Amino acid sequence: MVFSSAVFLFYFFPCFLLLYYVLPWKNAVLLIGSLVFYAWGEPRFVPLLMLSAFLNYSFGYLIARAGGQRKVLLGLGIGLNLAMLGYYKYLGFFAGILNAVGLREGALPAIVLPLGISFFVFQGISYLIDVYRRDISAQSSFLRFAMYKAMFPQLIAGPIVRYRQIAGEVDQRSLTNERIWMGFRLFVLGMAQKVLIANYVALPADRIFAVDPSRLDAPGAWVGIACYTIQILFDFAGYSNMAIGIGHMLGFSYPPNFNRPYAATSITDFWRRWHISLSSWFRDYLYIPLGGNRASPVRTYFNLALVFFLCGLWHGAAWTFVIWGLWHGALLVLERLGGAALLARLPGVVGQAWTMLCVMVGWVFFRADNVPYALKYLGSMSGAYDGVAALHPWQHDLTRTAACALAIGIVLACWRLRPKAGEKDEAKAVPAIVAPRSGVLVNGISVLATTALALLCIASLAAGTYNPFIYFRF
C-alpha cells in the first residue's frame, strides 16, 4: 500500500484517522494500524518487523543498565541488525560475486527483500548507539517502542526518524487544529509532487531508458536523464512530504528530508540538502566516529570514500549503486582538494550548473539496470551514437502534459533561495508548528489551493496515470 493509492486515500487512512482521533489508546491504534499497513504488502514479514523491534528494545534495555559490558552489548546489537540486513538484502549480491570469481558454484539464493528493511534496521542501530552514548533514555514500554519502530508514515520510504527526535512525542503528544491542518497541507503538497510531476515525467523517462542507448542521439539521451532527474526528486521528496504531513496529523515532528537539493552550488551542498535524514545518519554514526575531518587528509578522504560506498550499497545490492556512491564520494574528495574553494570564487549559477551536471551523471548509474548500459547511455549523452531514428518512441510519450510537468519540476527544483541570516543546519532542524496567518482571505485562499491540488491529484489517479513507487529498490 502506498500513500497515493485509492486504497490508502479512501479506505485505510480515513478509517485509521477516525479511530486514532476518537479512541484514547493512540499508541495501540497506531501500532495496530501500522502493522495492518505493512501486512497489506508484506504479510509474511510482519513477524520480522516485530522481531526487529523486540531485539532493539531488549538490547537498549540491557545497554542502559549494564556496567562494563555496555560496549559488548552494543556491538552484539548492531551486529544482529546488520546480519538481518545482510541476509535479506546482500546475500544474493555477494554470492553472485563469489560465483563470478570462481569461489562458489551454484544457483543464487532466492531471497525476497522485506519492504523498508533498510529504514527500520538503521532506526534500530541509531537507537542503540544513542542509548549507549546516553543521549536518550531507553524506552521502558515495549508497546511504545514497537509503535515507534512500526510507524507506517515513515516505515517504507523514510525519512529515517531517530528515536531521540520524537522521544517526547512517543510518550505524550498534542494535537491541535493548526497542526492537523498544516500536516494535511503538507500531505497534499507531497501528493501533488508525486502524482502531478513525478508520475508524468516518468512516462518519457521509462520509455527512453527502455531503448538501447546506441539508438539514442544526444538530445534524446539528455531528455531521458532530465526527466529522470526531476522524477526521482519529486517521487522521493513528495513521498517524504506526505510522510511528514501524516506525522503532523498524528502529533509527531518528523525531520525534514529535502531542502531544494538541485539549488546546491557544490556536491557538499547537495548532500546537505538531499535525503537529509540518511546523509546525517551516516555523518553522525559512521563518518564522525571514524574520525571525520579531524583525522589526517588521507584518512579523511578514505572516510568519505567508505561512507559513500556504503551509502550506495544501502540504496541497493547492485554495482550500479556502488558506482553511484563512489562517484559522489570521489566528487567530495575533489572538493576537499580545492574544488570547493574554486567553486566558491565562481558565480553561483556556474557552481549550480556544475553540480547538476555531476548529479545527472550519477543518476545514469542509479537508474540503469547494469553498468554496461550506464556507460553506453553516457556515450549517448556525449553524442557517440547517431540514433535520430530512435527519437520517435520517446516523442510519443513526451506529451504536452509530461512536458509541462518537466518544465514545472525544473523550475521548482532549481529555483535558488537566498539563505536566511543565521540559518541552522537543516539536518538538525525539526519542522516548526506555525499557526496559519490570520485573515479570512488568506485562510480561504489556502483552503481553496489545497483543495484544488487534492482534486487534481485524485483526477490524475482516476485517469489511470498512477505509477507505483518502484524507483527505489530498498
Contacts of residue 330, defined as CB under 8 A and 6 or more positions apart, other chains included, come to 305
Helix H or strand E encompassing 95: helix 91-100
Of these residues, 248, 275, 315, 328, which one is catalytic? 315
CA dist., res. 184 & res. 180, Å (int): 6
What span, in angstroms and rounded, lies between the C-alpha atoms of 66 and 86?
28
Distances (CA, A) of 406 to 164, 223, 231: 38, 10, 8
| CB neighbour list of residue 362: distance below 8 Å, 6 or more residues apart | 324, 327, 328
Give the residue carrying C-alpha cell 517521487. Answer: 235
| Residue whose entry in the numeric block shows the C-alpha cell 537566498 | 418
Neighbours of 88 (CB within 10 A): 19
Query: Rounded to an integer, what distance in angstroms lies between the CA atom of residue 283 and that of residue 290?
Result: 10
Amino acid symbol at 278: L
Task: Determine whether 328 is an active site residue.
Answer: no
How far apart CA 319 and CA 307 sit, in angstroms, is 16
CA distance 453 to 456: 5
Between CA 418 and CA 427, with CA 424 as vertex, the angle to 5 degrees is: 105
C-alpha cell at 52: 526487529
* Angle of helix 218-250 versus helix 13-22 axis, rounded to 10: 20
Q: Cell 530512435 maps to which residue?
A: 390
Q: What share of the chain is helix, strand, coil (3-state, %, to 5)?
A: 75, 0, 25
273: how many CB neighbours lie within 10 A of its CB? Answer: 19
User: Where is 20: in which H helix or E strand?
Assistant: helix 13-22
Angle (CA) 291-294-300 rounded to 5° is 65
The CA-based diameter of the chain, rounded to the nearest angstrom, is 72
Q: Cell for 91?
A: 546475500
Kind plus residue range of the DSSP H or E element containing 127: helix 117-132
> What residues are labeled active site?
315
